[in-house]
Amino acid sequence: MKLKNLRDIKNLKGKRVLLRVDFNVPIRDGKVANDTRIQVSIPTIEFLLKEKAKVIILTHLGRPDGKVDEGLRLDPVAQRLEELLKINVKKLDDCVGGGVAAEIEKMQEGEVILLENTRFHSAEKTNEQNFVKQLASLGDVFVNDAFGVAHRTHASNFGLAKKLPAYAGLSLVREVETLSQIIENPKKPLVLVLGGAKIDTKIGTLKKFSQIADTILLGGGLANTFLAAEGFELGESLYEKDKLEIAKEISAEAHQNNCKLILPSDAVCLDASETIAEDSQIKIFPTNAIPVSTRVLDIGAKSICQFSEIIQKAKTVVWNGPVGLFEFGPFEKGSKKITEACVQTAAVTILGGGDTITAIEKFKIPPKTFTHISTGGGAMLEFLEGKKMPAIEILQ
What residues act catalytically? 37, 198, 354, 378
* Amino acid at site 192: L
CB 177 within 8 A of CB 66: no
DSSP 282-293: -EEEETTS--TT
CB 113 within 8 A of CB 77: no
Residue 19 main-chain phi, psi, to 5 deg: -110, 110
Alpha-carbon distance of 6 to 44, in angstroms, equals 8
Q: Is 279 exposed, middle or buried (0-12, 13-18, 19+ CB in 10 A)?
A: exposed
How many CB atoms lie under 10 A from the CB of residue 201? 16
Alpha-carbon distance of 357 to 364, in angstroms, equals 11
Alpha-carbon distance of 265 to 140, in angstroms, equals 57
User: Distances in Å between the alpha carbon of 239 and those of 162, 219, 270, 328?
Assistant: 42, 12, 15, 19
Alpha-carbon distance of 331 to 353, in angstroms, equals 19
H or E element, residue 14: none
SS3 state of residue 196? coil
SS3 state of residue 54? strand
CB 333 within 8 A of CB 307: no
Alpha-carbon distance of 263 to 228, in angstroms, equals 11
CB 247 within 8 A of CB 290: no
Percentages helix, strand, coil for the chain (3-state, rounded to 5) are 45, 15, 40
H or E element, residue 133: helix 129-136
Alpha-carbon distance of 20 to 156, in angstroms, equals 7
Residue 340 main-chain phi, psi, to 5 deg: -65, -40
